């Protein structure tokens, strides 16, 4: 039930359309209008949360193309974000480049590093690839720490805020707009990349690598392309993150973040653009819930215990989703939609 009852596709263009009915268009514009007027009626705290959600959405879109569509599992995504972050940070801080020139370089650099660590994917898959990407995460962070005279090492690196002409993206609201524009572009790009020839090749590789190769999909090129695209998204997200905080440290890109990005994909639903947004928003909001409930818990138990309880809860959420809803929230959302469209004749 991809379409509401009574709607039929009569042309190829209609078949390909993402937004098929007027209602969908109205909902889209209503959502965009709501999103871009958020700063008018929400405080700094909420804007910060939304900005971080936007940055994470960009990053997880990349991971979704790589893992959800091409089945090349990566647990080093935070490491690739760090590559983009430090590239952009060093170019703007040391060489005085503008953010707008540094951002494409950051994306390109992250993509190239992604290709480098994606090389093992030509020979291995599944667990082996996971190990390669975990290795990527640790090696990247180690390199950043070693080259301390240009990256700042453990002390971090002060990064300027982006600017257009005389306007500096200094306030929370202005940066919120910047991030949201990028997040919308990323969502648009991610949706459409998987509808291209390359996207279909990714899906073929995911479903059966050997069969895809026999059908003429160039595994070598497309796997590396998937790594490149996935890491470009990560690079952009990383650059946006450090320019937002105006400071770059390796602590912003911990190993657990890489794991948690994959967790977001699982909760949201792999191989679905909507799933990315569902996953990121729900888990980030959960994090905020932990921030709010944590101090209340800390009154009852020790603060340390409260912190470990939140860790346990995160693990349990992934466990529960894996057992009871392995296809994620996006699938559940589809079911709800189908139920609503077919009601009261559900067969």
Partner 1 sequence: MTFFLQLIVSGFSLGMVYALIAIGFVIILKCSKAFNIAQGHFVMIGGYLGFTFLVTFHLPVWASLLAAIAVAIVMGLLIERLTLRPLIGQPVLAVIMMTIALATVFEGLATLIWGGEYKAYHGVLPTITLRIGEISVPPEMLIGIMVSVVTVAILMLLFRYTKSGLAMRATAEDEQVVQSAGIRVTTVYALSWVIACVVGVISGIILGGVSGVMVGMSQVGLKAFAVVLLGGVNSIGGAIIAGITLGMLENIAAGYLDPLLPAGGGLANIFPFIVIIIVLVFRPHGLFGLVEIERI
Q: How far apart are CA 167 and CA 34, in angstroms?
A: 24
184 part of the interface to partner 1, by CB under 8 A? no
Return the SS3 of 322.
helix
Start-end of H helices in 95-171: 99-118, 127-146, 148-151
Q: How far apart are CA 141 and CA 43, in angstroms?
A: 34
User: Which of 211, 285, 335, 336 contacts partner 1 by CB under 8 A?
Assistant: 211
The pair phi, psi for residue 248, each rounded to 5°, is -120, 120
163-182 residues in contact with partner 1 (CB under 8 A) are: none
262 part of the interface to partner 1, by CB under 8 A? yes
345 part of the interface to partner 1, by CB under 8 A? no
CB nearer to partner 1: pick between 36 and 143: 143
User: Which of the 8 DSSP states describes residue 41?
Assistant: H
Q: How far apart are CA 185 and CA 194, in angstroms?
A: 14
Determine the interface stretch with partner 1 among 103-111, 162-170, 301-309, 334-342 (rule: CB under 8 A).
301-309
In 3D space, the residue among 245, 249, 267 whose CA is nearest the CA of residue 319 turns out to be 267
CB nearer to partner 1: pick between 311 and 338: 311
134 part of the interface to partner 1, by CB under 8 A? yes
Give how far Cα 120 sits from Cα of 75, 111, 131, 139, Å: 14, 15, 10, 15
Cβ–Cβ contacts within 10 Å for residue 339, how many? 11
Give the x-and-dash track for 30-69 against partner 1 (CB under 8 A): -------------------------------------x--
128 part of the interface to partner 1, by CB under 8 A? yes
27 part of the interface to partner 1, by CB under 8 A? no
Q: How far apart are CA 281 and CA 285, in angstroms?
A: 6
332 part of the interface to partner 1, by CB under 8 A? no
Q: How far apart are CA 234 and CA 238, in angstroms?
A: 6
Number of chain residues interacting with partner 1 (CB under 8 A): 54
CB nearer to partner 1: pick between 97 and 143: 143
If you search the block for the tokens 């390359």, which residue do you land on? 198
- Give bridge partners of residue 168 from the DSSP assignment: 163
- Give bridge partners of residue 247 from the DSSP assignment: 158
Ramachandran class of 208: left when φ > 0, alpha when ψ lies in -120 to 50, beta otherwise = beta
CB nearer to partner 1: pick between 16 and 320: 320
Radius of gyration in angstroms for the set of CA atoms belonging to the chain, rounded to a whole number:
21
Are the C-beta atoms of 171 and 163 separated by less than 8 Å? Answer: no
Q: How far is the CB of 107 from partner 1 (least distance, A)?
A: 23
Give the x-and-dash track for 220-259 against partner 1 (CB under 8 A): ------------------------------------x--x
145 part of the interface to partner 1, by CB under 8 A? yes
User: Which of 27, 131, 335, 338 contacts partner 1 by CB under 8 A?
Assistant: 131
300 part of the interface to partner 1, by CB under 8 A? no
Determine the interface stretch with partner 1 among 132-140, 190-198, 229-237, 335-343 (rule: CB under 8 A).
132-140
CB nearer to partner 1: pick between 183 and 265: 265
The pair phi, psi for residue 70, each rounded to 5°, is -100, -5
Q: What residues make contact with partner 1 under the rule CB under 8 A?
A: 67, 71, 73, 75, 117, 119-120, 123-124, 126-128, 130-132, 134-136, 138-139, 142, 145-149, 153-154, 208, 210-211, 214, 256, 259, 262-263, 266, 304-305, 307-316, 318-319, 322-323, 326
């Amino acid at each position: 039930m991809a379409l509401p009852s009574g709607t039929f596709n009569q042309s190829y263009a209609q078949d390909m359309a993402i937004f098929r009915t007027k209602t969908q268009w109205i909902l889209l514009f209503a959502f965009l209008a709501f999103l871009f007027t958020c700063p008018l009626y929400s405080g700094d705290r909420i804007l910060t949360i939304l900005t971080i959600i936007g940055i994470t959405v960009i990053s997880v879109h990349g991971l979704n193309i790589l893992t959800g569509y091409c089945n090349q599992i990566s647990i080093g995504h935070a490491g690739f974000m760090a590559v983009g972050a430090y590239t952009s940070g060093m170019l703007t801080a040391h060489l005085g480049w503008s953010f707008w020139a540094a951002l494409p370089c950051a994306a390109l650099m992250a993509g190239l590093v992604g290709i480098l660590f994606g090389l093992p994917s030509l020979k291995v898959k599944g667990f082996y690839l996971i190990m390669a990407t975990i290795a990527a995460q640790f090696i990247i962070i180690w390199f950043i720490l070693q080259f301390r005279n240009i990256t700042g090492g453990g002390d971090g690196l002060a990064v300027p805020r982006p600017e257009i002409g005389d306007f500096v993206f200094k306030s929370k609201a202005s940066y919120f707009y910047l991030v949201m524009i990028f997040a919308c572009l990323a969502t648009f790009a991610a949706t459409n990349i998987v509808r291209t020839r390359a996207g279909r090749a990714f899906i073929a590789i995911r479903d059966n690598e050997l069969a895809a190769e026999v059908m003429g999909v160039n595994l070598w090129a497309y796997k590396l392309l998937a790594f490149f695209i996935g890491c470009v998204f990560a690079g952009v997200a990383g650059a946006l993150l450090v320019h937002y905080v105006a400071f770059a440290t390796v602590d912003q890109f911990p190993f657990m973040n890489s794991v948690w990005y994959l967790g977001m994909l699982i909760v949201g639903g792999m191989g679905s653009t909507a799933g990315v947004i569902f996953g990121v928003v729900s888990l980030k909001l959960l994090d905020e819930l932990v921030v709010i409930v944590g101090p209340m818990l800390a009154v009852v138990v020790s603060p340390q215990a409260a912190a470990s309880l939140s860790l346990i809860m995160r693990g349990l959420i992934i466990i529960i989703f894996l057992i009871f809803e392995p296809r994620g929230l996006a699938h559940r959302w589809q079911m709800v939609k189908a139920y609503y469209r077919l009601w009261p004749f559900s067969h």
